[in-house]
Structure 1
Amino acid sequence: MPCGGVMLQIHVGHMAAGLDFYTTLFGRGPDFSPHEDFFEWQVVAGAEVWWQIVVVPGQVRPMTKRSRLKVDDVRAATA
């Protein structure tokens, strides 16, 4: 299956702390933020490699993460 990109989503319990941590980690603010509780960094320039943080209510549970692989043709990739 040819893969055109990847995304990893991390849940955080506190918006300001999460945003500050990942802004420091990547050395810049998010590249995309469509909502006040969703932030996204493109971690490899020129490639579809994205790191997302999402603010979730309540306690953040380990292993509650999402990942996505980008493919150009879903039918061909799953055939």
Structure 2
Amino acid sequence: MKDTETAHSDKISEITKDVEKCLINDYMVDDSLYSTPNFYKLTSKVNTEELKTPPFEVLLDSYRKAQSTKQENGDLNAISIGAINGS
């Protein structure tokens, strides 16, 4: 039984060394390239606010204005909101 435990312990040590070699040498886990933080220039709060979607009412008003402009220009594909609602 003692021989089996010793052989098992030796195999575990061998596997541990192989894993360390693989991770450290082959995959460069401890490479300083990966531990150095990357700095990014973040956009200002003003730029971030510009990216936000406008309120629904503003979008709807803009859409309705665009649709009425298409109808005034004779665009036959434009359907008025009133026609859809039955007005």
State TM-score, norm by structure 2.
0.18
Which structure dedicates a bigger proportion of its chain to helix?
2
Computing the radius of gyration from Cα coordinates, the structure with the larger value is: 2
User: Which of the two has greater strand per residue?
Assistant: 1
TM-score (norm 1): 0.20
